[in-house]
Structure 1
């Protein structure tokens, strides 16, 4: 049984995969460089999501303007956990949220067709003070998932959800230190 709030992600012993959607003008230079480079903004919060299906819902399978290139962003587990250790829930005291380096919110997980499920996925906002660390130290690999996303979306639209499901990235529970998990409302 899935917990009400649980981080589910593609991860290994060293890294975790997060997902982001960008315009081609941002994605193409980043993919060519193998890291985030301008015009990626180092001056505003960037939101990262370990739930592939949630990002597909948010970007309408890469069809929303400015969100047509879907990237898998592999970062170190050390960086992920450091970010979460600094995080504040967006539902906390407004002054605490305003001063936080990292924001966390919980949004309903989604089915392949975008329907809300009865458990939540984490969305993590990396603030301006930490964005260079994220981009230059935590990120280990960028992968363009756009062709795979289009293939999955076509299968879903064609009523072949079982085939689409087999193409989804693997996501399983991600263990966090107990104190961080409690603070973020996980469990």
Structure 2
């Protein structure tokens, strides 16, 4: 899936004004999410087009559907262990399962 770019001011009018929404690029089969990794994990994934090397399935992780949100959360790639940001194409069915099993923070 190729990323579709649109100026912020052009897309603002089509965004929902209320409620909870996931703003992401997706098609009928995939959704693009972003994830931060240590430099060596990111370099391995880019070179080989799969996760391996020092990547671990037991590590808890956060994915974000918005690139700028990810960049803000990882300190613009400056936080230790979060220097590489990858765009990951997930199956939409898998993403929906992740949402079903997720926990949403609530304000007290």
Greater helix percent: which structure? 1
Number of residue pairs matched?
91
* Residue 71 (1) aligns with residue 71 (2): no
Greater strand percent: which structure? 1
Q: Rg bigger for which structure?
A: 1
Q: TM-score, normalised by structure 1?
A: 0.45
Once superposed, what is the RMSD of the aligned Cα atoms?
1.6
Q: Distance in 2 between matches of 1:54 and 1:38?
A: 27
Q: TM-score, normalised by structure 2?
A: 0.73
* Aligned equivalent of 1:28: 43
* Residue 58 (1) aligns with residue 73 (2): yes
* Residue 85 (1) aligns with residue 100 (2): yes
Runs of 4+ in structure 1 off by over 4 angstroms are: none
Unaligned runs of 5+ in 2: 1-15
Question: 1:108-142 CA distances to partner (integer Å, 9 max, x unpaired)?
Answer: xxxxxxxxxxxxxxxxxxxxxxxxxxxxxxxxxxx
Q: Distance in 2 between matches of 1:37 and 1:6?
A: 32
Q: Distance in 2 between matches of 1:44 and 1:90?
A: 20
